[in-house]
């Protein structure tokens, strides 16, 4: 498929940004537990707070409250309940949550793709991105989903880099906390502007604002 020079430049910038934002994942500790004090604990607390398991201060200190939150998470997801964040717990947690940088990216996606949509429609856009992470047919990271070539118009035309407003952050937060108005949809499109026969062939789930959501 022929790409414009602008599209290629935008995608290259996006990939460079992802490499800058996400270098820490490959360096994350394989196991942290009560008594650990580092940035991985901060990330753990942030993710658990996102999911509603941790209500304490995000301070990077693995204390009793953090251990309790980990146990609750492990119980909810059928993991060994030991309060220790080892490879298995990390693997599941990173699959169902986001870190701070990913939350920023999700809010940017919401704002750039759906800032004129009703609030439910903004949450729905975030939910689609998160649903793709869970699907075997898409990249298994949020960065991979968002920056997959030609996946989102706002990335292609540069609007993705606009500064999100408070509503976009709240919509991203609600999606991460489990609100999916789309019923597990993987696609959305504007029926007024969509010209792809393929997208029209998808099973339509519901219409929210100007977007139709489909699987």
Task: Report residue 74 as tokens.
Answer: 């492990």
4-50 pLDDT, tens digit each: 444 444 444 444 444 434 444 444 568 999 999 999 999 999 999 99
Can you list the domains of the chain with their CATH numbers?
Answer: 36-96 (1.10.101.10), 100-214 (1.10.10.2520)
Contact 146, 154 (CB under 8 A): no
pLDDT given at position 57: 95
Mean pLDDT of 174-186: 96
Residue 1 has pLDDT above 90, yes or no: no
Residue 152 has pLDDT above 80, yes or no: yes
Strand partners, 27: none
Task: Report residue 111 as tokens.
Answer: 């704002």
Helix (H) or strand (E) holding 207: strand 204-208
Q: How many CB atoms lie within 10 A of CB 1?
A: 4
What percent of the chain has pLDDT above 70?
Answer: 87
Least confident of 20-24, 109-113, 135-139: 20-24
pLDDT given at position 101: 95
∠ CA 166-94-135, rounded to 5° = 90
Residue with tokens 């030609």: 150
pLDDT given at position 95: 86
The model carries a pTM of 0.79
Helices (H) and strands (E) in the chain, counts: 10, 3
Q: Which residue has the higher pLDDT, 26 or 138?
A: 138
75-98 pLDDT, tens digit each: 999 999 999 999 999 999 998 899
∠ CA 140-188-160, rounded to 5° = 70
Q: Which of 181, 156, 166 is nearest to 111 (CA)?
A: 166
Mean pLDDT of 180-185: 97
Task: Report residue 39 as tokens.
Answer: 């940035």
Least confident of 6-15, 108-117, 122-131: 6-15
Long-range contacts of 91-94 (CB under 8 A, 24+ apart): 93/44, 93/47, 93/48, 94/25, 94/47
Mean pLDDT of 131-139: 95
Residue 163 has pLDDT above 80, yes or no: yes
């Amino acid at each position: 498929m022929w790409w414009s020079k602008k599209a290629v430049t935008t995608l290259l910038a996006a990939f460079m940004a992802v490499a800058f934002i996400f270098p820490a994942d490959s360096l994350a500790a394989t196991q942290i537990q009560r008594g650990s004090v580092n940035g991985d604990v901060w990330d753990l607390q942030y993710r658990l707070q996102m999911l509603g398991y941790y209500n304490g201060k995000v301070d990077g200190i693995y204390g009793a409250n953090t251990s309790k939150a980990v146990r609750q998470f492990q119980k909810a997801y059928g993991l060994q309940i030991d309060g220790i964040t080892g490879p298995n717990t990390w693997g599941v947690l990173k699959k169902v949550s986001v870190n701070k940088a990913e939350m920023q990216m999700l809010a940017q996606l919401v704002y750039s793709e759906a800032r004129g949509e009703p609030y439910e429609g903004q949450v729905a856009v975030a939910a689609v991105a998160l649903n793709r992470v869970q699907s075997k047919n898409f990249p298994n990271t949020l960065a991979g989903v968002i920056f997959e070539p030609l996946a989102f118009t706002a990335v292609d035309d540069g609007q993705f880099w606009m500064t999100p407003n408070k509503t976009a952050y709240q919509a991203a937060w609600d999606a991460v906390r489990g609100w999916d108005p789309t019923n597990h949809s993987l696609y959305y499109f504007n029926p007024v502007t969509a010209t792809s026969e393929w997208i029209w062939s998808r099973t339509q789930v519901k219409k929210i604002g100007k977007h139709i959501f489909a699987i």
